[in-house]
Amino acid sequence: MFTDMVGYTALSQRNEALALELLEEHRRILRSIFPRFNGTEIKTIGDAFLVEFQSALEAAQCALEIQRTLAKRNHDVSPEQRIELRIGIHVGDVVHREGDLYGDGVNIASRIQPVAGIGGICISVDVERQIHNALEARFEKLAPIELKNVQVPMDLFRIVLPWERNTRLTEERQKHDVRQQRSIPIGWVVTAVLLLVVIGAGVFVFQRQKTKVAHRQNASPARTEAATASTIPDKSIAVLPFENLSSDKENAFFADGVQDQILTDLSQIADLKVISRTSVMQYKSGVARNLRKIGEELGVAHVMEGSVQRSANKIRVNAQLIDARTDAHLWAQTYDRDLADVFAIQSEIAKTIADQLQAKLSPNEKTAIEERPTANIAAFDEYSRAKTLLLTTGFSASQRTNYLQAIDNLNTAIARDPSFFEAYCQLVFANDSLYALVDHTPARLAQAETALQGAVRLRPDAPETHLARASHLYFALRDYKGAFAELEIARRGLANDPRIYELTGYILRRQGKHEEGLRDLKHAVELDPRNPFTLAQLALSYQFLRRWPDSAAVLDRALAITPDDIETRMQRALVDLFWKADPRPLHQAVERVRAEQPASIDHAADNWFLGTLAERDWAGAEQALAALGDNPFWGDGVILLGRHFGEGLLARAMHEDGKAAKAFAAARLEQEQLVEKQKDFAPALCVLGLIDAGLGKKEVALEEGKRAMELMPVEKDSINGQRMQIYFAVIAAWVGEKDLALQQLALAGPTPGACLVASYGPLKLLPFWDPLRGDPRFEKIVASLAPKP
């Protein structure tokens, strides 16, 4: 059994004394419970416990007692004082060695624990088989889940805790009471009061609609993120995740789909500000919500809550509209219909909300809202699963499995309903993402183009079609001018879609128009304020402009949203390395992961390796490479350098030529295959040039580097074109062409958008540039990038 204390890291940053106090209390409570169920404490890992039991039943009983004890303890304390755990249990063979446990059983249990919700218990199917007839509890099967470093998806179960059901019944009764009290006289009173409020505030409406959230450099992350009353437009709304009340928990995806469709309908109304689904997903349904705080964090005046209950061919949808500024319930309705009417319900809700918020609805917007996505409920289920998966999947090579699963779901949806337009649009995005990241092959490109043709056939003039085409032109064909033209058309019908502004920002960046791109990315953040990926892209734009303090502030904001996210924490630490040539924050961040989340160290191994290279800690670098596995250690968007290249780079820095040659030879075998599959793909060819430079193949390496620059010139792609120039400078330096290397570095290094390997810290510290050290021309370039006092 693995236990983990939720929110401890974030609390320790805010109030270290309180965090330590709660940590010690948590340890006392758990250590008093373990022996009662024959549990043996193996070790503590920061705020986590690893415990061994003689039976799966005793482990489950112990977990139940822990959560029951903590639920009672937390009942009357403030949120900051609560002790909340996630618990994961697995059964399997282990090896005892020097007081510790090893083996797949331990590794899998550590992967299961994060899947458990706050205050929850998650178990493997092997545990469920052993205890389902012996434990008086209900088990909910989760969808098969990909666990890191586990080859096949695992079937997991959640143990339903008795007090969860009681809480839900109480909340539903309170909601029902609110609806019963909504009589006609009270409705008139509420309307009159709201009218007076609107009239009294009318002089401020125009200013509120025009004012944007200001992010001051010295503001705290919490203050930067939350909107103030004067910046929130009256006609603004966030549709929070709907609660799934169906007995079949597999219908959770269906509830997500209902919420998503209502949100999509509302987002088509230009007179409204509607927050993207990515930013509302974290406000999970079925738990207590502070609506005022949510409204401030999302920058909206209104929120919508709801629930979905599906049984056989019937459906019940509850929806309510709330003024987040006052907690006043403005409207509530229950819809009991046949399942086939679910799309009509969604349209009715969207039109009612628009009417409640006095939003102008054009004829085209009304038609778009009334158009149902599909007539096939099974197809809608598959589509909903895929869209949820895509929204929760990061844009990185390690997410390949999730993209493939989403593509399978979307293809199934289209097979069930060949006229499912929105499924085709999502399929374009999923295939293009894989093509841009890891599968730059003709077959993947053909699948994306086939999906796009399907969307064009069904609705050639729809704004969603123009957005899908823009995405394809950008990610797959790198036709930035064509993508920009498509976005201008899509913008007219998708005013609330942050993807319009994200893509526009990316295109402007690649055209070298960094300040203009920054403005569009800021607009995307306004519509999707709690999306860590969008914030990371905004931070990256600041880095391209060498506005390091602004980049740090944006990443601090992202960390305030996801304080336990390892990748964001590493990105924040890297800012100090790139900006100040200070590897200490990165070193501290990595050590924190090693101490508190050792099972997740592979998520930080790439940055661990970079940090050790910067510190010239060769022994630490070897440890980091061992933890890296098959992941790349340097992935700046297109240049992916793997473990064998890392071994060669390390050996080269240590002047172990034989070892370096062996490592680079192994790297070349792998890269040759990629180049063969990805014909004329500049980044793959550039990496091959770096490898050949490491092998001393001077002429071949220079030719490959030059060819990469020809395939991806700066004129076509400002960012990746400069990356090809910078890495060509590395190639030239490694093969002894110092003048050529310095010429390329001086040409590309100081300009906006230059790759981060040519920023101050890497130039000063990383062994990529060792052959140039001591040359006055190189030292002058490095000094020119140093932070000013």
How much is the average pLDDT of 265-285? 89
What confidence score (pLDDT) does residue 155 get? Answer: 81
Give the DSSP letter of residue 109. Answer: H
Q: By C-alpha distance, which of 63, 203, 185, 9 is closest to 595?
A: 9
How much is the average pLDDT of 524-550? 92
Structure tokens at 318: 């509850």
Residue 152 above 70 pLDDT? no
In angstroms, the Cα distances linking 78 to 74, 140, 423, 547 are 8, 30, 44, 39
* Alpha carbon 651 to its chain's center: 35
CA distance 612 to 765: 10
- Is residue 34 within 8 Å of residue 51, measured between CB atoms? yes
Q: By C-alpha distance, which of 64, 60, 34, 30 is closest to 48?
A: 30
First to last CA, the chain: 51
In angstroms, the Cα distances linking 471 to 487, 499, 517 are 9, 9, 16
Least confident segment among 209-213, 293-297, 589-593? 209-213
* CB atoms closer than 10 angstroms to residue 656: 15
pLDDT in tens, 698-751: 999 999 999 999 999 988 888 889 999 999 999 999 999 999 999 999 887 666
How many CA atoms lie within 13 Å of 32's alpha carbon, on the beta-carbon side?
Answer: 10
CA distance 645 to 639: 12
- When computed from its CA atoms, the radius of gyration of the chain, rounded to whole angstroms, is 28
Give the DSSP letter of residue 359. Answer: -
CA distance 87 to 707: 53
How much is the average pLDDT of 331-340? 91
CA distance 285 to 529: 19
What confidence score (pLDDT) does residue 104 get? Answer: 73
DSSP assignment of 655-722 equals T-HHHHHHHHHHHHHHHHHHHHHSTT-HHHHHHHHHHHHHTT-HHHHHHHHHHHHHHS-TTT-HHHHH
CA distance 180 to 675: 67
Highest mean pLDDT pick, 111-125, 309-323, 526-540, 695-709: 695-709
Structure tokens at 513: 């128009």
User: 3-class DSSP state for residue 138?
Assistant: strand
3-state helix, strand, coil in the chain (%, to 5): 65, 10, 25
pLDDT in tens, 439-497: 888 899 999 999 999 999 999 999 999 999 999 999 999 899 999 999 999 998 898 99
- pLDDT tier at 754 (50, 70, 90 boundaries)? low
Q: By C-alpha distance, which of 614, 603, 561, 598 is closest to 765?
A: 614
Answer positive or negative: Cα dihedral of 665, 671, 677, 681. negative
pTM score above 0.85: no
Q: By C-alpha distance, which of 573, 592, 579, 581 is closest to 548?
A: 579
CA distance 748 to 215: 30
How much is the average pLDDT of 273-277? 93
How much is the average pLDDT of 74-98? 86
What confidence score (pLDDT) does residue 446 get? Answer: 95
Least confident segment among 25-34, 228-237, 328-337? 228-237
Residue 165 above 70 pLDDT? no
Structure tokens at 206: 């125009």
Q: Are strands 634-635 and 640-641 parallel, antiparallel or unpaired?
A: antiparallel
Least confident segment among 94-103, 213-222, 274-283, 428-437? 213-222
For the chain, give the mean pLDDT.
85
| Angle ∠(344,349,351) on CA atoms, nearest 5 | 95
Domains delineated in the chain:
2-160 (3.30.70.1230), 169-372 (3.40.50.10610), 378-551 (1.25.40.10), 632-784 (1.25.40)
Stronger pLDDT, 715 or 194, i.e. the higher one: 715
What confidence score (pLDDT) does residue 639 get? Answer: 85
Alpha helices in 545-681 (DSSP H): 548-561, 566-580, 584-596, 605-615, 618-628, 643-653, 657-677
What confidence score (pLDDT) does residue 12 get? Answer: 79
Burial level of 287, CB count in 10 A (0-12/13-18/19+)? middle
Q: By C-alpha distance, which of 353, 361, 257, 379 is closest to 310?
A: 257
- Is residue 640 within 8 Å of residue 675, measured between CB atoms? no
Structure tokens at 41: 């404490």
CA distance 731 to 61: 60
DSSP assignment of 475-519 equals HTS--HHHHHHHHHHHHTT-TT-HHHHHHHHHHHHHTT-HHHHHH
CA distance 767 to 735: 14
Burial level of 199, CB count in 10 A (0-12/13-18/19+)? exposed
Which residue carries 């689904």 as its tokens?
277
Least confident segment among 243-247, 351-355, 454-458, 597-601? 243-247
What confidence score (pLDDT) does residue 139 get? Answer: 83
How much is the average pLDDT of 560-586? 92
* CB atoms closer than 10 angstroms to residue 210: 9
Q: By C-alpha distance, which of 265, 262, 268, 199 is closest to 234?
A: 199
What confidence score (pLDDT) does residue 149 get? Answer: 56
Stronger pLDDT, 376 or 143, i.e. the higher one: 376
CA distance 748 to 48: 47
What confidence score (pLDDT) does residue 117 get? Answer: 83
Helix axes 605-615, 643-653, angle to 10 degrees: 10
